Amino acid sequence: MAHAQTTHPTSQETIAEFDRYVVPNYRRYPVSLVRGENSWIWDAEGRRYLDFFPGWGCNLLGHCPPRVVEAVRDQVGRLIHVPNTWYMEAQGEFARALSERSFGGQSFFCNSGAEANEAAIKLARAYGHPRGKFKILTMEGGFHGRTFAALTATAQPKYHEGFEPMVPGFVYMKYDDLEAVAAAIDDQTAAVMLEPIQGEGGVKIPSRNFLPGLRKLCDDRGALLILDEVQTGMGRTGSWFAYQHSGITPDVLTCAKALAGGIAAGVMIAKPEIAAVLKPGMHASTFGGNPIACRAGLATVETIEEEGLLARGAAIGERFRSQFEALQAEIPEKIREIRILGVMIGLDLTFDASDVVAQCLSRRLLINATHGHVVRLLPALTISDEQIDQGCAILADVLREAQH
């Protein structure tokens, strides 16, 4: 394995520059990362880490996937950006690829999951406006982004604090409670919006009848069903999109993170008859659907299909499950529940998980904690069995040693 270059500033030098010039709105670990390769990543001092949470889930194919790197290199030498007042080959091809792998919808491209969700909310409002429909029902514990409507859709008070008043017209429901939605949905409801699996909310997987039940409620009451697949999309759960496990299709779907193999990209996909509501000038994104992102997205789709990574994702999930079930049997007082679908993995602990993240970092394993007590892992579809076993051994030792 190649070693990191020695020409980088040290981690401390980079941290000092951040302290002086970068807005301190993130909690950062005291490490400057300089290079990545598949599930390995190196810091400025040349130390190597195993990454079980690459790019917050954006690096679904690992760090610097060769086909994506080559596509980007080729594209930047030909055309970097053109505005959406012109046609471009790559955007049309990528939209077709997504349509064929989802439900035949049309794509609006943007740069992030929050932007995609903003577009979905605006589309739902515009679609419902002639019939007086404006309410959006979302789920407690959900997360839809940091822009204002997406933040309001995020039914977690801690994210609203300091920004009130929020955007009117949102109603919050308990996740996986079909009866509550049935009681709340009315003639003013434009849409029900949710994640098919809550990611930031603790990797919560709903009961099998929840999505089919929501689909029927929306059909009966004339509301749109919007699925936020920003985190679950593009193969993370063992299918292209998580809704495909449920036997239903949404009216509108949003996706980002893994959409373009780590290049910034977001998309809203809508059924054509719904998408037609958005006329020129009603919504836009300057950089959305640029040639680089679309070529990277096409390379991501090709890599997943040609390397059989959807099936690999399911196998990876089962390998994690077998190891974690054995660990839970050993320390049941520390692991409350294991939640896994494909390479979307949550360990619900009986104690705060922040120390677990810090201890794993000290042993050069990168993981994430969410919802206070859930260890969240979003490993790459390209991770090897050996790397899974190595990382799980580190995490298991940390949990065994945890004093709780």
Measured CA to CA, the distance from residue 9 to residue 380 in angstroms comes to 28
Grade residue 7 by pLDDT with cuts at 50, 70 and 90: confident
In this predicted structure, the answer to whether residue 4 has a pLDDT above a threshold of 80 is no
Tens of pLDDT, residue by residue over 325-381, are 999 999 999 999 999 999 999 999 999 999 999 999 999 999 999 989 999 999 999
In this predicted structure, the answer to whether residue 210 has a pLDDT above a threshold of 80 is yes
DSSP element (H, E) containing 275: helix 272-275
User: Mean pLDDT throughout 171-179?
Assistant: 97
Residue 228 counted as an annotated binding residue = yes
Residue 74 counted as an annotated binding residue = no
Residue 324 counted as an annotated binding residue = no
DSSP element (H, E) containing 337: strand 335-341
In this predicted structure, the answer to whether residue 404 has a pLDDT above a threshold of 90 is no
Residue 143 counted as an annotated binding residue = yes
Residue 47 counted as an annotated binding residue = no
Give me 200's structure tokens. 């930031």
Share of the chain above pLDDT 90, in %: 97
In this predicted structure, the answer to whether residue 2 has a pLDDT above a threshold of 70 is no
Strands 170-173 and 135-139: parallel
User: Mean pLDDT throughout 100-120?
Assistant: 98
Measured CA to CA, the distance from residue 108 to residue 271 in angstroms comes to 11
What radius of gyration do the chain's Cα atoms show?
21
Residue 7 counted as an annotated binding residue = no
Q: Which residue in this structure is represented by tokens 């794509």?
A: 107
- State the sign of the Cα–Cα–Cα–Cα dihedral 175, 181, 183, 184: positive
Residue 68 counted as an annotated binding residue = no
Residue 146 counted as an annotated binding residue = yes
Measured CA to CA, the distance from residue 97 to residue 289 in angstroms comes to 14
In this predicted structure, the answer to whether residue 14 has a pLDDT above a threshold of 90 is yes
Residue 61 DSSP class = T
Measured CA to CA, the distance from residue 2 to residue 156 in angstroms comes to 44
Res 6: pLDDT: 59
Assess contact for 72 and 288: CB atoms under 8 A. no
